[in-house]
């Protein structure tokens, strides 16, 4: 029986393997960027809803709406629901939510970055937004959809 000597890998074979790994890595990285943006949008939706709910509860406890709009961090801290109110008041992109008064006894908790992200995909239909995310459908943000 003849023993065959094992051939070492050539430099060309190593370069081809590295090239293929690089292509696979770039495809995965490109796909993850979209996923990260969607994750930031989801965090913004859920975070704004949470802030809205907590601040609405504080209004129901007797907090004045003007005080809540002026100092939401204080009311988030008082509620006991937020461990880190400063972080809770930031959207998925790390920017602060805009908290504005909606009539006599309601609030808007708006993320401009979320609305910009959403308007890149499709133009924002504010009637639909009022149905799906009513706490974020601030009239002042209507200009955003026309500017984009």
Domain encompassing residue 102 = 14-147
45 domain residue, yes or no: yes
On average, the pLDDT of the chain sits at 84
Helices (runs of H) and strands (runs of E) counted in the chain: 7, 2
35 domain residue, yes or no: yes
Number of domains in the chain: 1
Categorize the per-residue pLDDT at 28 as very low, low, confident or very high, splitting at 50, 70 and 90.
confident
Q: Of 50-59, 72-81, 83-92, 130-139, where does mean pLDDT reach its minimum?
A: 130-139
Tens-digit pLDDT profile for residues 100-142: 888 878 888 999 899 888 888 788 777 788 878 888 877 665 5
Looking at per-residue pLDDT, the higher value among 8 and 141 belongs to 8
58 domain residue, yes or no: yes
108 domain residue, yes or no: yes
Q: pTM of the predicted model, to two decimals? A: 0.71
Q: Are 119 and 143 in contact (CB under 8 A)?
A: no
3-state secondary structure of 130: helix
26 domain residue, yes or no: yes
132 domain residue, yes or no: yes
């Amino acid at each position: 029986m003849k023993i065959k000597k094992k051939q070492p890998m050539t430099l060309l074979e190593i370069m081809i393997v590295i090239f293929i790994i690089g292509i696979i890595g770039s495809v995965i990285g490109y796909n993850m960027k979209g996923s990260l943006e969607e994750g930031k949008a989801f965090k913004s939706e859920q975070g704004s809803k949470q802030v809205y709910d907590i601040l609405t509860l504080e209004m129901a406890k007797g907090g004045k709406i003007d005080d809540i709009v002026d100092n939401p961090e204080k009311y988030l801290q008082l509620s006991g629901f937020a461990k880190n109110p400063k972080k809770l008041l930031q959207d998925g992109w790390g920017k602060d939510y805009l908290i504005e008064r909606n009539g006599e006894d309601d609030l808007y908790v708006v993320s401009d970055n979320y609305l910009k992200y959403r308007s890149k995909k499709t133009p924002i239909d504010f009637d639909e937004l009022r149905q799906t995310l009513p706490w974020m459908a601030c009239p002042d943000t209507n200009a955003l959809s026309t500017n984009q």
